[in-house]
Amino acid sequence: MRKAKTPSRWSADVEIQVQFYDLDPMEVVWHGNYVKYLEVARCALLDAIGYNYAEMKASGYMWPVIDMNLRYAAPATFGQRLSVRAEIVEWENRLRIDYLVSDAATGRRLNRASTTQVAVDIASGEMCFVSPPVLFQKLGVQAP
């Protein structure tokens, strides 16, 4: 596991503007909508390494999210511009991505999150206990 302040070799940043339909009755972003923001950043990250969902399927694997953790520090509000960073921090036996959601103007942290995905062989439906070689190839690292 890497240290908290060491940047990952594989990361992507996206900017999202909070829309009215993302708000709850308290006029802040409803907590479940952060999952959507994470997905936008995750897709940008997967595109950056050349292994997006279509490429995963073509390689014979699906990568379902099996765990997700979110920690809220401050609410986001209508019209606010958010910076969402996604970075790969584990890849050998699973794909773990850490996220940071912050105010795009000030850098103030609003949310930290992580998702864990595992490879599942599409043909057999079997979960892989080691990430398949295609992921290592896309990351440019040697398989264990």
The 10s digit of each residue's pLDDT in 68-104 is 999 999 999 999 999 999 999 999 999 999 999 999 9
Predicted local distance difference test score (pLDDT) of residue 144? 80
- Return the domain boundaries, the chain: 12-139
The 10s digit of each residue's pLDDT in 118-138 is 999 999 999 999 999 999 999
When the pLDDT of each residue in the chain is averaged and rounded to a whole number, the result is: 94
Predicted local distance difference test score (pLDDT) of residue 6? 59
Angle at 6 between CA 94 and CA 14, to 5 degrees: 70
Checking if the pLDDT of 7 tops 80, the result is no
Which residue bears the tokens 């699973």?
Answer: 94
Q: How would CATH label the architecture of 12-139?
A: Roll (3.10)
Rounded to two decimals, the pTM is 0.92
Specify the amino acid at residue 34. Y
